[in-house]
Chains A and B, each alone.
Chain A
Amino acid sequence: MSDTKKIAVFFITFFMFSLSNSVWSDSMLDEQLREVASGGTEKQLNQLIKKGANVNAPGKYGKRPLMYAAEAGNIDIAVSLLSYGAEVNARTKKGDTALTLATQNGHASISALLIEFGANVHDRTRVGMDSLMIAAKSGNVSIVEQLLQFNADVRSSDNLGNTALMYAIKGGHTKVVMALFNNSRRIAPCIPNNIGVTPLMAAINEGHTDIINIVLPKIKHVDFQDNFGTAALHYAADKNNMEVVKYLVEHQAKINLEDSDKETALFYAVRAENVDVVKYLLGNKADKSLKNSEGITAYQLAVEKKNQALVDLLK
């Protein structure tokens, strides 16, 4: 190797070494800052920042100190980081933000702080869930109210088509459902998810009476069918919810509406052996002669079930 080459290699090696050393020391400080953000004290944080740690330095998968504080619920650290100008709307590679992380972990004071600092309430994770859906799913009323106050979209839905209302219903969070209706005029109680299930159907399916009582009077299209042709009456008949069956029939629901298997609400009631519902449906002109796609009548189904009370009713 010539002398010139040797000198060049020496300088390049020296330059690389000095660079890597400074980067390494900085990354150590940043790493410490992220650890402190997660479980340290404000004093430790201030010391690290004075030494030159970067308040916005992303760690693995793009997670930043503010996100660690939001996840851990460390309000003092979050206040400090924000007062040093930490970026509020940064995202991880998974699409999480400090706000979604605070919401997921139920830290209402941190979510409030982030919202006031301009966190985007519409940001979604990779599965399409925004903070409102996350808060509704976990039943956190105070965060739901904060988000609605700052114009979170109650009609937005995730990749499965579920809205915040749907998540609140599935979780049985009555207070969240009430908060959604009280704080937003844009809420749409009839919007179905990707498989056509409406909030009412979900509420009937989950058997949450309080929620049914809130949602039911707001329904306009009582015969709406999901992707399998099942309407709210089918759900109510299946779940033996006599109150809802009566309400729907009284509000002109089609009693002989068939699903994709040509089964009416009567079939559902027979299959679930809900004698009272069968009796009520028959009393309101349910057609017992109809056959499903397998050519079976409700009577034959009752015989299969060996339920004498149903057999007697359907004879």
Chain B
Amino acid sequence: MQMNYLSTHSLLKRRAGYKKFLTLLSSTLSPVLISGLLLTNAAKAESDIDQDNLDDIVYQAMKVKPNIDNGRNLYRNCAVCHSPEGWGAASGRYPQIAGQHISVNIKQLRDIHDGNRDNPTMVPFTAPLFVQGAQSLADVSAYINQLPMVPNNSVGYGSELAEGKKLYDENCKECHKANGEGNAEKFYPRIQGQHYSYLVRQLHWIKNGKRRNADKKMVKQLQKFTFREIDLMSDYVSRLRPDKSIVAESIYWKNPDFRAGFYSAPRD
């Protein structure tokens, strides 16, 4: 399965060049020929649906040098739900965001802000970031990225892991990589070590169209999956271990940027 949340930056550039080429052609060739070319283009680009909707701000944010200190201040409002450590909730109510790729964080913030994901309680918190601009987006995303991941995320029942692996290898591996580390350059999120219930919920939401920032091809592929298959795949993914260098040393690790006893939203 091609889990294209987005296509690459280079692909975007290639498409922009292709459009220019078509514009040039339009002055010389007949409209019939042009429409034929456009149709072919549309068919080819079926899996690249989101790229045209991407704002420049996403790419601007990826280009600027992040300021972690500012990110720390901005993250304070995020911490009340995602926890100071960014580990989310084992119940799956909040995802683990610690260690997520900067590009993915920026892109997801954009999607939530634009209403491509149903998250009405997070929308008001994304708005100030977009008002402040690309630098703030980059800062908070980079701060989240450098947080160590939770060593004991919640996992599924552990039955039929072999089938879960088979499903993952056949459908997800191509984009999310063998160990679920994703691809920062291509906006494919890190899914290894994510909470099991969160994975199940998101896959169902992508399948039934509630989460609208997944590409059409991924939605189409997921629609073939049964509840059981989604469960098995999520179970397998939740058990993929991130590299030790990006995982916290202990489950008792506390984010030193926050005072002891910092309450966050209920976890269940």
User: What residues of chain A have their CB less than 8 Å away from a CB belonging to chain B?
Assistant: 75, 79, 82-85, 108-109, 112-113, 115-118, 142, 145-146, 149-150
Contacts of B118 in A (CB 8 A): 149
29 A-B interface contacts by CB (under 8 A): A75-B77, A79-B80, A82-B80, A83-B263, A84-B261, A84-B263, A85-B263, A109-B124, A112-B120, A112-B121, A112-B123, A112-B125, A113-B80, A113-B121, A115-B121, A116-B80, A116-B121, A116-B265, A117-B80, A117-B265, A117-B266, A118-B265, A118-B266, A142-B120, A142-B123, A142-B124, A145-B120, A146-B120, A149-B118
| Secondary structure dominating the interface of A | helix
Contacts of B120 in A (CB 8 A): 112, 142, 145-146, 149
B81 contacts the other chain (CB 8 A):
yes
Interface residues of B in 33-90 (CB under 8 A from A): 76-77, 80-81
Contacts of A149 in B (CB 8 A): 118, 120-121
The number of A-B residue pairs with CB atoms under 8 Å apart is: 46
- Let me know if B124 and A82 touch, CB within 8 A: no
- Let me know if A79 and B81 touch, CB within 8 A: no
Contacts of B264 in A (CB 8 A): 83
- CB nearest to A113 among chain B residues: B80
- Let me know if A82 and B263 touch, CB within 8 A: yes
CA distance A185 to B77 in the complex (A): 32
- CB nearest to A149 among chain B residues: B120
Contacts of A108 in B (CB 8 A): 123-124
CA distance A149 to B118 in the complex (A): 9
- CB nearest to A115 among chain B residues: B121
**In the complex, what's the smallest C-beta–C-beta distance from A73 to chain B, in angstroms?**
11
B262 contacts the other chain (CB 8 A):
yes
B122 contacts the other chain (CB 8 A):
yes
**In the complex, what's the smallest C-beta–C-beta distance from B216 to chain A, in angstroms?**
22
CA distance A82 to B118 in the complex (A): 24
CA distance A187 to B120 in the complex (A): 19
Q: Which of A82, A109, A146 has the most CB of B within 10 A?
A: A109
Task: Out of A79, A84, A112, A150, name the residue touching B124 (CB < 8 Å).
Answer: A112
CA distance A148 to B77 in the complex (A): 22
Contacts of A84 in B (CB 8 A): 261, 263
Contacts of A85 in B (CB 8 A): 263
- CB nearest to B80 among chain A residues: A79
**In the complex, what's the smallest C-beta–C-beta distance from B112 to chain A, in angstroms?**
12
**In the complex, what's the smallest C-beta–C-beta distance from A106 to chain B, in angstroms?**
11
**In the complex, what's the smallest C-beta–C-beta distance from B185 to chain A, in angstroms?**
32
CA distance A27 to B170 in the complex (A): 66
CA distance A118 to B124 in the complex (A): 18
Extra contacts besides A108-B123, A115-B121 (13): CB < 8 Å: A79-B80, A84-B261, A109-B124, A112-B120, A112-B121, A112-B122, A116-B81, A117-B265, A118-B265, A142-B124, A146-B120, A146-B121, A149-B120
